[in-house]
Chain A
Amino acid sequence: MDGIDIIKDKCVGCKACFVACPYGAIEFVEKKAVITDKCTLCGACKESCRFSAIVSEMDYRQGSDLSRYEGMWVFAEQRYGKLKPVSLELLGKARELAARLNAKVTSVLFGYNIGFLARDLIAYGADQVLMMDEEWLGDFNDRIYGELITNLVKEHKPEIVLVGATSKGRSLAPYISSSLKTGLTADCTGLSIDDEGLLVQTRPAFGGNLMAEIVCPHNRPQMATVRPKVFKPLEPDYEKRGIITRIQKEPIEGLVKLIRNIDNAEGQSLTDAEIIVSVGRGIGSAANIRLAGELADALGGVLASSRPLVDMGWMPYSRQVGQTGKTVAPRIYIACGISGAIQHLAGLADIDTIIAINQDPEAPIFKVANYGIVADVKEFLPLLTEKIKQAKKA
Chain B
Amino acid sequence: MNRTKMTTWISTARLVPVALLAAALISGNAQAAAPGIKSSNDLFELRAQESFISQPDGNTVYSWGYGCANTATITFAPAMPNNKCPGMQVPGPTLIVTEGHPFTVRLTNGLPAAAGNTSILFPGLRIVSVSGGTQGLLTREATALSQVDYTLVADSPGTRSYYSGTQGDLQIEMGLYGAIIALPANPPASCGTGVAASNLAAEAANHESDFRLATAAYDHAATCYDREYLFQFSEIDPRIHRQVEEQLQAITACNGASGCPTALSVETEPYHPAYYMINGRSMPDDMDPNYALQYPNQPYNGNPHMHPGELVLLRVIGTGRLQHPFHEHGNHVRVLARDGHLILSEGDDTKLAGPLLFTTTTTPGLAMDGIFYWTGKGLNWDVFGHGYAGDSSTCTPDANGYYTADPTAPNYYEWCGDHNKPLESKPSGLVGSGGPVTLPDPNILALGPWYGGSPYLGGDATGRAAGATPIPPSGTVANSPTDEAGFAFMWHSHNERELTTNNAFPGGMMMMMLVDPRAYVIDEAK
User: A and B bound?
Assistant: no
